[in-house]
Structure 1
Amino acid sequence: MELKIPVNKNKGQVLSSLLLALCCSVLTFYFPKVLLAQEAEKSQDFDYWAKLCKSLVEIKEYEQALAACDQAIALNAQDAITWADRGDVLLALEKYPEAVLSFEQVIRLEPTDGAAWTKKCASLVGLGKYEAAIAACETALRVDERWGDTSPAFAWYNRGFAFRAWGKREESLFSYDWAIQLEPTYSLALAQRCLLLSELGQPSAALNSCDQALQGNGDWGKGSAAIAWANRGQILTQLKQYNEALAAYDQALAIAPQNAEVWTQQGIVLGKLGREGDAQAAYEWALKISPKYALALVNQCAILSRLKMYKEALASCDQALQEGDGRWGKEGPAFAWNQRSIVLTGLKRYDEAIASANRALSLNPNYAEPWSNRSATLWYMGRFTDALASTEQAIALDPHSSQAWFNQGRILTTLGKYEDAEAAYQQALLGDANLGERLTLADIWLNLSALLWRLERYGEAIAAADRAIGIQPDSAQAWYNKGLSLMALQRYEAAVTTYDKAIQFDAKNADFWAGKGIALKFLEKYPEALAAFQQALQLNPTHPQALRNQQVVQQQLEL
């Protein structure tokens, strides 16, 4: 394109403009050359890149820090400090194999660098190489020099963490105790010691250690005080102190709302308290944060199953097994197969349910719950002898399992062995459900009330139904069971009131309307009785009691 300069009558001004334009054009081309020269000089300046690397590490700009560290090392691979900074970056980014290599370079240059040995140990822990990690920490403690931004307490802490992950709890406790002896207010070591003491069966000492951690020096490593609150929640859950556990998890989530594990643990506790909606919300939060978290997916499956959303539950269990990240909790994948068995039973796909239960037991033969749940499936299939044998196996593995005793009670009731069934239900009430499993406890009282009604012990049956109602006030079946016993005692007015409560919670159950109609018939309130029978027959046109009693009432009304 041709540049056209407009004609100006004032030639002096034109000349000045041209000179100014020329000057500016010279500056425009000259200044970038200066910058490029400066940048070229910096690119070869080891000190510049090493200092930039360190400063970026300090402000936690790890990706940029790594690039700067690599540039410095390319200029000088014999500087231990830069290798150490690079190792810190990789450790923070959880790039453990590269972190190990960086700290080994530090050790090559400075064999007595305690900090490098300790951080190598921490990196090896991240890789699951616990024996090598312990050896590295022990070397750090043996050379006992050049600790830098670490300390011997940090080495003892990592040694303890490695031993615990390796399954050697006593050695782990010894290491944590040494870390705390060196730094009595070391929050992270106290918090991990808290969880370890719980695993060793010392819950009181464990809770005390967690409390000390929260009052400690605030050194949580890469974490926060949420670690101690979450550990406290786990211990309180094991102690069946569910409300206190919820409070601890609330504290943890207030500090670390992006922690999927804590959301999942809170959901488990909410489920135990019968708060299914809140539990489901907790699992949804966990899965928003970590969509493939296996333990959250399986527990979501369990809660959806309890809500009778079986298709959705099965999808969640299958996703955990097929796409999950392998973080299962203590029961491993057997937990998922067990939950899948429960869901398939709810879908009346009994053969598949048995296959899933058997799969759980092949993975963990000493896992009591699949034996118990398998017995329920066999009961539905009419295989009562096999079902009874399965409950006995569950009880042998876990004598305190309320669910196993409860299932045994149901099977014995079906077999007409009422006294044995009552004994089983009483054992169920003494089991773990009595310590907080509220829905299971309500079911036990509900079934016991039905059994006592069969035994014509109506006063005890009413008391048992009231216990179920006290735990689960919206249990329509518990209200109905109470009504049956009130009818047997000829307390018809009270029975009508009780049936009304059952209908309030489930108005589509023909049995409830028929029961109310019969009570009204005995009270000679025939028009109201007829209306109740008609409602029952609208729901179930072949309901035998409603059909028979409707005829009786109509005859009375024709007199």
Structure 2
Amino acid sequence: MLPSRCLRCGAVSREPLCTSCIDYIVAYQPLWLDPALLPGPSLLALLGSRETAIVSTDLSLSEWRTADREPTDADASRLIALLGIDADAHPVLSVGDVAILHAFLGRAKRGLLPDGETRGALAALYRYLSTCPWMPAHLAAEYGLRARTLEAPLEPTQGGEIVTRIEAVAPETTPEETTEEPAPSVPTPPEQTAPAEEVLTPVVEEESVTPAPPGPQPEAPPQEVREGVEEASQPAKAPLESPGGPEVLPPAQEPPEPEAPPAVDAKAPGPPPEELAALEAMKREMERERERLEEWLRTRGGEIEAKERALAERERSLEAKEHAVEEHERAVTDRLLALEKDEARREVLRFLGTVPGMTEEEADVIATAFPDMRSLEAADGKALTQCKGVTEALARAIRYELVPGEVEDEQRATQLREEAQAFMEEGDYAAALECFERLIRERPEDIQAWFDKAELHVLMGRQEDALQCYTRVLDLDRRNRQAWFERANLLFGMNRLADALDSLREGLRIDPSKAGDLISKAEQLRRDGRPNEAAVLLQAVLDVDAANARAVLALGDTLLELGDIDAAEGLYTRALGKDAQNPPILFRKGQLLDRKGRWGAAIQFYNRAIALRWDFADAWLAKAEILLTHGRPKEALECFDKVLSFDGKRLEAWAGKARAHSLLNQGEEAAAAFEAAVRIDPHHPAVRAARDVIGAMPPTPAAAPEEAAPSFAEALREAEEEPEEKEARPGALPADFKSFVEAVEPEKDDVHVLLQLAELALEGGDAEMALLRYGEAAEREPRNADAWTGKGVALQYLERYEEALEAYDRALALKPDHEMAKKWRETCRRHVSRREAP
């Protein structure tokens, strides 16, 4: 693989731009960092035309062409003024504007800008860059320093004043004038000191011998101003004694040097002390500024050198890593060959090392799956993609390197398939069959071709030939689930149910996820009046997955429809043995028991189903029907009301409620419930049954006149005369409760069933029923720790804590590590201790 390179300098880089180029662009072309940059030409191109007229020999013809030219400093200054670029400004810049400003910054860095307006424009641009929010902090600080350097540009008049004041220290006078009129001292105004100090700053930058910081540098002041400042910075000299002599001119070869002061009398007074003090202060300030700038330049230069060294070191490390990766890629095949001693496997690995995009892990997996070249050549693309990490593109590349002529074979197979599909669309099945036979003769291992041929045989009504095609597919791939299912469909159509059952069973073993589809198809067959075929499908599902509750329910319903009640009951019993907490199976078992006349056991299973799923409407309705049939309309009415509490539009509930009210001689309530059922479906069988029951109701007798209410005194007298009733025996149970207990007596004397019934009663809040059931379980199996623990819990619910403690102690004596008994005994002991506390 060729290494990627930088688009700007061509250096090796994983990114489009290398680190050095990115640093250069950020430092010298900072406006490219503006995220709001707009595409398009510069504003100056829209304001002023750059067209040039080209006139031919025929003066009547002329052509205007746009002349491209480099932007000048005046263009940059004009653009900065038009856009209002300055500190804290937010101008809208385009790509053309940025190009002009970058050229302006480059010329400033090289020191090619003259003084004047360009100096102010450059300072404004520096201020703008220092206040941009997208500018890096170190660059913003650097541009701020440059802006402060250029904030007070040097004016010619100020420079002239400085030189004038310096020359005025020793004016040209004659001895007579010296005696008559002393030379006046020119005081230095305080406001002139600041410009002189500001002018001295660029002079320090010019005299510095260290490298300048990156970016544009400020303009140097004019030569004569610098010389005037240098002269001003020198200490004042004593006046020369040359009375009346001519002025001493500087040599001709040094025109910029100022004229020497004329000779004055030794007795002439010197410059005033204030002026000398100001000059000394200026000199000291200039020295301090020079030292500060030199220190900054040394620090900045050291940082830049350190950064350059770091970048060079990083570039060297990246190059070393690149070479290491290339060496690693070249050594993959050699290392595999050195580790392998099997010649055949080494040959496979040697071949895989030539395939583009092959890695060490993928080559090892393929060599393990295909240990020699013969097996590798026999493998198709699908077999190669079964290996871990091998994609379709890599498998295709292997096949191209291994069998160059396979592409032509695939193109030939595609052409034959297209021809066969065209004949099938035209209805010419015989011609399409001939195309598939030619394809199979050329590629007998093509499974899809066998499937297409079998489908064509089915369309032509040749089921036996189609079965042979599917058999051929199974010979090639025994675990092809599609072939098993298609074969089963054909056998169902040929009414060969036993063979179809075997095929379905094999297909489900390969792909158990298809069980849901088979169950849905079986339910549809049962609704269509074909229960035998539905039973075959469901039996195949249960042979593979015996715990499939949906298949159990569907097969039980099918057996009931076929009239085989015993088989259905055995099926439900086996299912409950594997999953005793399945509400639909419990409900089906209750229905079977009710059909056999064992209504008490049926109510037991309905209660278990309701305890597991409280909104199981079918279980509530079935229980209510049993209670209503056996003369217990009040309890049946409670069941119907429970159904209507969570399903208010259930017709069977309204009709049953009307029947219960009619049996209780509650005519108005029965009529209201019957009207609600009629509104839902007036022709439903449950509505007709309710109509018959309501029609058989006796007429309601006339209400007796109400007796006058006794006075308070009479009621108090009757209460005093009435003897106190004897308290009921604690162990006695109500008659209704006893009848309910008798109705739900367990079918067998099974302690496990008694414990389940007790748990259901305890979950439903009936602690007395739970105590009764736990007591029966403890009587039948006195060494059952669960029974004694449950009895203690029931007693604790009834606040009989002393008896509960005795039950827990009995359970722990039988099983010392019984966790539930330990936990409940601790809570019961705390209750007893609180009651005994004063």
Query: TM-score surpassing 0.5?
Result: no
Larger Rg belongs to: 2
**Shorter-chain TM-score tier:** 0.3 to 0.5
Name the one with the larger helix percent: 1
TM norm structure 1: 0.43
